[in-house]
Structure 1
Amino acid sequence: MKKHIIAAAMVCVGGLTSCNLLENDASVPEAVKQQFSKIYPTIKTAEWDQEGDLFEAEFKISGRERTALFSADGTLNRFSEEIEEQHLPQAILEKLQANYNNLNVSEVLRVQQQNKTYYLVELDRKQEKDILLRFDKNGQLMEQEPVLLEQTSLVSNPVAAAAKPKLVKELGQPEAQWELPDQLREISGIALVQENLMACVQDEDGLIFLYDLEKKKVVNQIAFAGPGDYEGIVLVGDTAYVLRSDGTLYEVPAFQTGKAKAVTYPSQLQANLDTEGLAYDKANKRLLIGYKAEDSSLKEAKGIYAFSLSTKKFEPTPVLSILLKQAGLESNKPKQGALSDLLQASSLEMNPATGTLVLLDSPNKQLLSISEDGKVQQVYKLDKQVLRQPEGLAFGQQGEMFIASEGSKKVSGLLVKYPAKLP
């Protein structure tokens, strides 16, 4: 069987240590063959490899190579397909053009594994070893993975290292800003209703304020609960969800009418987490919840919890864990050695333009984009002179970003806007 460097590297990525070409499919478990026939009923011929306890079929559809990797019980673990370079996501094409324009792309695979999609790109260096790049679906280079053969890596490879993006950057200055009225001095959460209309909550009152960006004033306020420490707001259609700092959620149907009674969901999370971040994960029909304090169930990580919009229940364990000892967080200075202070979620948001989870950390004055497996992809340092106490985060549909900063007795609350730039 023909083995490309890109296919062999998939073995390394999957943690496999051996590969034996099978003379025929007699050694392939019946459960594997049955599942293969069920998934690919039109494929009559396939070549099989045994990789440890796994079995891989290599076959072609419409002249292009495919591979399917199965467990002995017939479970499909990984699927890959050869694609043309032009069918890569635009973000990947742009990075190849910017960083590897002098190299030719010799092979591209799209890989699906554990409900995630990533791309392998093989670059031809003629007289030297080829380079293999691994990107996630959002175009982020996954340089920490061992994706090159013979114990090389993207980090140690000089060409890839030269293209390694800077992890920590300055966010820069906003393109627009609004000084907020007194009732939003303690603004804590924001959500863009439509162009030029922002829904806001603040620390004390159970009210949703509608702030008009053109008129520069509050045009409506909707009561949903009594006084409380309200921290986050997201919109799902015409329903607003508001998060209180003790983890309690409020569902406010048809919130702009102010007529529907809010539904309260008492927190099922650990007490005293100081929950402030709330995001709408549309792809998984859930709300994501971030917090600032220490989680006793996690020793060296911060978790992202979830509230299912289908069952209207809290997930008992985090759906995402972010290790605190990783690049991008080490420069933060925890108080009295409190590791949990390295990352404190003041707000969460899914960037609709990229699908990336973005976390606003007010105490450490930074924004972070987080991958699906909990890695810090990018850190943006915030200007303390502009954002005194950044608490709220929202995105427009094109990726433009809004940050709300709480005021003080002498300083008004502030809302600022940045152009689309986050990954």
Structure 2
Amino acid sequence: MKENGIAAAIIVGVLAFVGVMWYMFENPALNPRLEEVSYVISRKWNMPVPLDEISGISVVDENNIACVQDEEGIIFIYNLSTSLVEKQINFGKPGDYEALSIVDSTAYVLRSDGVLFEVANYLNPNFSVTQHKTAFTGKNNMESLTLDKKNNRLLLITKNKGPEDDGHKGIYAFNLENKAVETNPIIRISLNDPIFQSKDADDDDEIDPSFYPSDIAVHPTTNNIYILQSNPARLLITDATGKPIELHPLDAEAFPQPEGIDFGAEGAIFISNEGKNGTATILEVEFEEEKNE
């Protein structure tokens, strides 16, 4: 019995040491490598092997996050408390599924070719699936989807070139009442905004009008829009009209391939990373813009 107690104490000590080392490694106040970053990672979850290609997330409740990966037509319900996949919903054939949004009892999954899958009563064994073609079907690379609860719609944004002109990135709306995408963007983000100019660039350097969104989310209380980019890893925050507020570079070691973002009900930010040369993760992150609100 005494030996078991010693072994248990050793295990607890090792876990505590690993936790402290991770916290020091991932946070700017304690790690010189991160002195320039504008966020703090408060929690981290390593994904199981089936979610190595995690490409989209949507918060279900305070304990559960729904996830998709870009090879299988499966919705995974991941429990943050147990660090386990509690449920799998097989809704479609294998494909390039990139984004996910939970709206009450319905899950919406976006395939990269612009087809939107509506999985009604997704947690019920008798769920039903409806496919919606959008204005982007077969034309644009689509990776971003989120719920705009205030306006009862889903928001989409093209990753590469979209229907809008080169100087803007358009956000489009999928109306949850008539189940159709509005033809014109409801928000236009100017890629000529000075925020896209490198801080190290000279004043006369041209702004690089390129931004390739990998996911999008709307803050539950401020209605600010958070747009994630995977390569290079960074996060753009705009107001509800699309005016840029902050552009946060993300450290490549902590965010090797950020593909999904969503908010908890109280404003907690969750970002998922594909397992690029390592283990896929979900991180809970706090940004400076949030601290100052």
TM-score range, shorter chain: 0.7 to 0.9
Equivalent position of 1:242 in the other structure: 109
User: Is 1:253 matched up with 2:120?
Assistant: yes
TM-score using structure 2 length: 0.80
Q: 1:271 to 1:378 in 2, by over 3 A?
A: same
Choose from 218, 226, 235 the match for 1:358: 226
CA contact 2:173–2:186 (8 Å) conserved in 1: yes
**Rg larger for:** 1
User: Is 1:318 matched up with 2:182?
Assistant: no
* More displaced 10-residue stretch of structure 1: 293-302 or 183-192: 293-302
CA contact 1:243–1:278 (8 Å) conserved in 2: yes
Equivalent position of 1:229 in the other structure: 96
* CA deviation profile, 1:27-64 (whole Å, cap 9, x unmatched): xxxxxxxxxxxxxxxxxxxxxxxxxxxxxxxxxxxxxx
Equivalent position of 1:416 in the other structure: 283
- Map residues 262-411 of structure 1 onto 2, 5 A cutoff: 262-269=129-136, 271-331=138-198, 342-408=210-276, 410-411=277-278
Q: 1:171 to 1:291 in 2, by over 3 A?
A: farther
Question: How far apart, in 2, do the equivalents of 1:365 and 1:399 lie?
Answer: 21
Question: How far apart, in 2, do the equivalents of 1:354 and 1:375 lie?
Answer: 14
CA contact 1:399–1:421 (8 Å) conserved in 2: no
CA contact 1:245–1:276 (8 Å) conserved in 2: yes
Choose from 143, 168, 178 the match for 2:45: 178
CA contact 1:280–1:287 (8 Å) conserved in 2: yes
Report the 3-state secondary structure (helix = DSSP H, G, I; strand = E; otherwise coil) of the residue aligned with 1:175. strand
CA contact 2:164–2:170 (8 Å) conserved in 1: no
Question: How far apart, in 2, do the equivalents of 1:192 and 1:264 lie?
Answer: 22
Question: How far apart, in 2, do the equivalents of 1:328 and 1:389 lie?
Answer: 22
Gaps of 5+ in 1: 1-168
* CA deviation profile, 1:297-320 (whole Å, cap 9, x unmatched): 413111111111111111111111
Question: How far apart, in 2, do the equivalents of 1:237 and 1:398 lie?
Answer: 17
The alpha-carbon deviation at position 420 of structure 1 amounts to: 7.0
- Map residues 62-77 of structure 1 onto 2, 5 A cutoff: none
Report the 3-state secondary structure (helix = DSSP H, G, I; strand = E; otherwise coil) of the residue aligned with 1:283. helix
The alpha-carbon deviation at position 271 of structure 1 amounts to: 4.0
Equivalent residues, number? 250
* CA deviation profile, 1:195-218 (whole Å, cap 9, x unmatched): 121100010000000111111111
CA contact 2:118–2:129 (8 Å) conserved in 1: yes
The alpha-carbon deviation at position 372 of structure 1 amounts to: 2.9
Equivalent position of 2:11 in the other structure: none
- Map residues 54-133 of structure 1 onto 2, 5 A cutoff: none
CA contact 2:55–2:70 (8 Å) conserved in 1: yes
CA contact 1:171–1:383 (8 Å) conserved in 2: no
Equivalent position of 1:155 in the other structure: none
User: Is 1:200 matched up with 2:67?
Assistant: yes
Counterpart of 1:284 in structure 2: which amino acid?
N
CA contact 1:332–1:364 (8 Å) conserved in 2: no
State, as a whole percentage, how many aligned pairs show the same letter: 35
**Larger relative contact order (Cα-Cα within 8 Å, sequence gap ≥ 6):** 2
Question: How far apart, in 1, do the equivalents of 2:102 and 2:127 lie?
Answer: 15
Cα root mean square deviation, aligned: 2.1
Counterpart of 2:97 in structure 1: which amino acid?
Y
Equivalent position of 1:141 in the other structure: none
Question: How far apart, in 1, do the equivalents of 2:166 and 2:106 lie?
Answer: 36
* CA deviation profile, 1:73-129 (whole Å, cap 9, x unmatched): xxxxxxxxxxxxxxxxxxxxxxxxxxxxxxxxxxxxxxxxxxxxxxxxxxxxxxxxx
The alpha-carbon deviation at position 182 of structure 1 amounts to: 0.5
Question: How far apart, in 1, do the equivalents of 2:225 and 2:278 lie?
Answer: 30
